[in-house]
């Protein structure tokens, strides 16, 4: 699991034994029932991707509780909703497939890391179950492990995003799409 550079830092800080214990006891190659329950309650996660040159991107992904689905112990799926048109995450998925997902529960401090290989499809059978989704991203789980919650601040949900697509409801247009810098260059009909 660890690179030579990570090992060098572990050795310099006398944490190799701890890192090995974490790898032995906490790192799994599949999701269990507790992971499924935790992921099913989340309304957001952070998605890390990397392009072919090694340049990273980190994106916030949000939705209604349960928008990330545990398909089986080795597969997660989530919708790709309308965004800013840059396709940084999906472009990187096309290039390298490597993703890291960080689920953080700010209400009952807890977090879970999932690393794996992603792909996306505009014809995925799950697409019809996510109103407003443009495609479905599936992640083949390689590693899953909990992370210390010590530094997670406790937050309160003031309100859910009004932009999360809902069945039989038109999502409102974000303000930036009507701004002078964007309104004349918006895609007419996204095709992915």
Q: Please indicate, yes or no, if residue 155 is contained in any of the structural domains.
A: yes
Q: Please indicate, yes or no, if residue 176 is contained in any of the structural domains.
A: no
The residue whose two tokens read 């974000």 is 174
- Angle made by CA atoms 20, 23, 27, in degrees to the nearest 5: 170
Counted domains in the chain: 1
For residue 144, what is the domain's CATH number?
Answer: 2.30.110.10
Tens of pLDDT along the chain (192 residues)? 999 999 999 999 999 999 999 999 999 999 999 999 999 999 999 999 999 999 999 999 999 999 999 999 999 999 999 888 899 999 999 999 999 999 999 999 999 999 999 999 999 999 999 999 999 999 999 999 999 899 999 998 898 888 888 888 888 887 878 788 877 888 876 555
Which pTM value belongs to this model?
0.89
Q: Please indicate, yes or no, if residue 76 is contained in any of the structural domains.
A: yes
């Amino acid at each position: 699991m660890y690179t030579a550079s990570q090992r060098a830092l572990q050795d310099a800080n006398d944490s190799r034994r701890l890192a090995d214990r974490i790898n032995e006891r906490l790192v799994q190659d599949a999701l269990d029932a507790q992971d499924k329950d935790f992921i099913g309650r989340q309304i957001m996660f952070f998605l890390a991707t990397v392009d072919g040159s090694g340049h990273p991107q980190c994106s916030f992904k949000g939705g209604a509780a349960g928008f990330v689905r545990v398909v089986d112990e080795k597969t997660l799926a989530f919708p790709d909703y309308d965004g800013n048109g840059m396709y940084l995450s999906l472009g990187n998925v096309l290039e390298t497939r490597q993703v890291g997902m960080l689920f953080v529960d700010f209400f009952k401090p807890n977090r879970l890391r999932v690393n794996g290989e992603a792909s996306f499809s505009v014809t995925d059978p799950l697409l019809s179950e996510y109103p407003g989704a443009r495609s479905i991203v599936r992640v083949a789980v390689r590693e899953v492990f909990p992370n210390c919650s010590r530094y997670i601040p406790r937050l309160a949900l003031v309100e859910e995003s009004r932009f999360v697509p809902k069945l039989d409801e038109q999502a409102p247009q974000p303000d930036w799409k009507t701004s002078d810098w964007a309104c004349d260059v918006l895609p007419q009909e996204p095709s992915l």
